[in-house]
Amino acid sequence: MELNDEHKISLEPYDPHQDKLLFRFSAFVIAGVAISAIVSAILLALYDQHDISLVTMGIGTTCLGALTSYFTQNISS
């Protein structure tokens, strides 16, 4: 049985630049989560108000969303 062209798998050459972008992206995500969690914990310890802590986590999550969309656009292009 012979395979026609649509069943053949094409392998793209390895691109180390792609790995660097993915590594940077994951480092930014981890750093963003850590920073927002630390700031949230500090505000919670200082003011003992859960609302401030939740607002800080919301801001951190928004920043992470912006970073995520920026990096995924750069990785995919």
Which tens digits make up the pLDDT trace of 45-77?
A: 777 666 666 777 777 777 777 777 777 776 655
Confidence (pTM):
0.46
Report domain extents, the chain: 17-76
Q: Is 48 left (phi over 0), alpha (psi -120 to 50) or beta?
A: left
